[in-house]
Amino acid sequence: MTHALLMSSSRKDALGYLEHASDQLRTVLDGTSRRVLFIPYAAVSFSYDAYETLAAPPFEAVDAQLTSIHHHNDPVAAVREADVIAVGGGNSFALLSRLYGAGLVDEIRRRMTEAGTRYIGWSAGTNVATPTIRTTNDMPIVEPPSFSALGLVPFQINPHFIPGKPQGHNGESREERLAEFTVINPGEEVLALVEGSALHVTDGHGEILGERKALVFTGGAPVRDIRPGQRFELGELSGPVG
């Protein structure tokens, strides 16, 4: 049974890296070894060493020790031995390409669903936890073998959700992009998480962590809110609130 913390972003407002997330990290780390295997594959313009140095302190702040998978000779074995995996943000297309390249997509999915390994993701690390990366905000700078991803939850997530559009530019708003997704993919659902928010998944249920409501986009229905603290069945994201 999947136990996961899927965060929208590494940063909230002017806070430091994952500084807003201490309570969220404690929620998923309680009851584990607090030894976290870090997957830095979403980093493109900085090194895996630099990414590990950036990501370790907020884990130390909650008494957890983070070690990057690039120090292991056999990444599949490293995943098999981990009881907590953290997948950081960056570019979702680079991340998914490298997960396939290292043979980790099936292995992570299997460990999450069969062995109880816990999953922590933020930004691109949250995108790859959903069925596909079709609701990423990232530029498709590299072509992965498939858009199919880990599928730890049965719906899409849009991280870094922000309403409206910038002035003076004719690009689409995020709402327009997600509405297009629901038109071309009828019957599918997207959970939109503002920066600083997260989805906590346990026992087939979800709960929004953070201060602000999440939004659910689905075809042919008005956009729906989910309030922080409101527990819902993963399979009934756009259904009535229990």
- Residues that bind a second copy in the complex, under the rule CB under 8 A: 9-11, 13, 44-45, 91, 94, 132-143, 146-147, 160, 162, 166, 168-171, 176-181, 183-185, 195
Which of 79, 138 has the CB closer to a second copy?
A: 138
Neighbours of 236 (CB within 10 A): 14
- As measured in angstroms, the least distance from the Cβ of 148 to a second copy is 9
Annotated catalytic, 238? no
Nearer to a second copy, 37 or 42 (CB): 42
In angstroms, what is the minimal distance from the CB of 150 to a second copy? 16
Q: Is 8 a catalytic residue?
A: no
CB-based contacts of 5, cutoff 8 Å, min separation 6: 24, 25, 27, 28, 118, 119, 120, 121, 198, 199, 200, 201, 209
In the bound state with a second copy, the residue whose beta carbon lies nearer, of 2 and 10, is 10
Task: Name the minimum Å distance from CB 195 to a second copy.
Answer: 6
Q: How far is the CB of 83 from a second copy (least distance, A)?
A: 30
> Could you say which of 20, 138, 197, 238 is catalytic?
138
Active site residue 71: no
The three state secondary structure string of the chain is: CCEEEEECCCCCCCCCCCHHHHHHHHHHHCCCCCEEEEECCCCCCCCHHHHHHHHHHHHHCCCCEEEEHHHCCCHHHHHHHCCEEEECCCCHHHHHHHHHHCCCHHHHHHHHHHHCCEEEEECHHHHCCCCECCCCCCCCCCCCCCCECCCCCCCEEEEEECCCCCCCCCCCCHHHHHHHHHHHCCCCEEEEEECCCEEEEECCEEEEECCCCEEEEECCCCCEEECCCCCEEHHHCCCCCC
Shortest Cβ 199–a second copy spacing (Å)? 18
The smaller minimum CB distance to a second copy, of residues 73 and 167, is found at: 167
Nearer to a second copy, 117 or 159 (CB): 159
Shortest reach from residue 178's CB to a second copy, in Å: 8
Query: What residues pair up with 85 in beta bridges, in sequence order?
Result: 37, 119
Task: Identify which of residues 43 and 85 has a Cβ nearer to a second copy in the complex.
Answer: 43
Closest CA to 234 of 91, 131, 125: 131
- Please identify every residue annotated as catalytic: 123, 138, 160
